[in-house]
Amino acid sequence: MDQYHPVKVDLTKPENNREFLVYNLGQTVEGVDVAKGYLYHSQLILYKMDIRYVVDNTEKDYYTCRVSGTNELLVSAPAWDYNQLHYRDFWDGVSRDDDDPEKIVDPILHGMVSAIDDAHDKTIKAKGARDIKHFKLQFPQGCELSSSAIFAEAGEDEWCKLKIIPLVWTHTLSGLSGTDHYAGWVVARKDLESIKKGKPNSKPKAESQAAKLLASLGIGATTGDAPSSKPKPAPKFNTTSSLGRAAASGTKTNSGSKKSSDLMELDDENTGLEGLGAALDGAEAEFNQLVGGNKKHSTKKRTVNEAIDDDDDADAERVDRFGFGGDDTEDY
């Protein structure tokens, strides 16, 4: 069973984290997928690496990091110092006399070589179990770590993306120079608020079905069209008709049932409606003529009936008084 070396992360002091350096990057790392366009508070974890391990075996992942708990990271790295594992003969040579290899000139180094031999033997027998060591970085309570928020290939195990940072250095006083490499991993802090990156993007709204149908008839503006600042021309009316005059003046028509705006005739761009307006004008005149004729006819009819009734009443009165009247009166 793998053993984990606990590291209580100190976020206030980057150097106070054993083999690691832990830096606060602030809100500088952009999210991915649904979080794209948002910047997360993030932490950078640095660990000094030896690239010779990677070059020797390109199929094995020697330096890995993943989110193993809400506030925990699991970091794996080679267990052995590369020089201790692969330069055993060098250490043995340093412990002996150059002219007489059988003579031990540094018993401490010679003893170290004996210890290396014993450890190598046990490492080989462990069949890889002692090749890698594991660190459990424990962040303070309340921290919520995430790799998938900023790394699209994090997967279900929340693997963190590896970044190799080379450092070419020169030490003037000693005259030494060299190149060091650091393994770096970035993890997002979801317990801290993210911020929007750049100008917000306004997505056009989808048109309703009714709006699309009206647009196909040339009515209304389609999605994405800018509103026109040019005023639309006022409707023109045919003032030669009674309906047109009523619409132009804003008064009611003869029927008094609708406002003139409901029956207005439009300008030349709507020629089809002009014919309809003319037909309505003709129908209105015909209707008025018919109504007027009916009124005269009904008045005349009421006058005749009234006369007949009056004559019948007179006949009845003469019969009562004189015993004769009605049709017989003319014959007499």
Q: What are phi and psi of 41, to 5 degrees?
A: -65, 130
Mean pLDDT of the chain: 79
132-138 and 4-8: which strand pairing? parallel
Q: Same domain for 255 and 172?
A: no
Q: Same domain for 36 and 178?
A: yes
The structural domain count of the chain equals 2
> 78: how many CB neighbours lie within 10 A of its CB?
18
Least confident window among 61-65, 82-86, 314-318: 314-318
Q: Measured at the alpha carbon of residue 19, what is the angle toward residues 15 and 24, in degrees to the nearest 5?
A: 45
Parent domain of 26: 4-79+131-196
Q: Same domain for 161 and 286?
A: no
pLDDT per position as a tens digit, 3-22: 899 999 999 999 999 999 99
Q: Does a structural domain hold residue 217?
A: no
Q: Which residues contact 80 (CB under 8 A, 6 or more apart)?
A: 123, 131
Q: Does a structural domain hold residue 316?
A: no
Tell me the pTM: 0.59
- 198 vs 169, which has greater pLDDT? 169
Q: Does a structural domain hold residue 295?
A: yes
Q: Does a structural domain hold residue 115?
A: no
The tokens 């921290």 sit on which residue?
Answer: 143
Q: What gap in Å lies between CA 51 and CA 162, rounded to an integer?
A: 13
> 201: how many CB neighbours lie within 10 A of its CB?
7
Q: Is 56 helix (H, G, I), strand (E, B) or coil?
A: helix
- 114 vs 297, which has greater pLDDT? 114
Question: Would you say residue 296 has pLDDT above 60?
Answer: no
Q: Same domain for 67 and 135?
A: yes
Dihedral sign from CA coordinates of 311, 313, 316, 318: negative
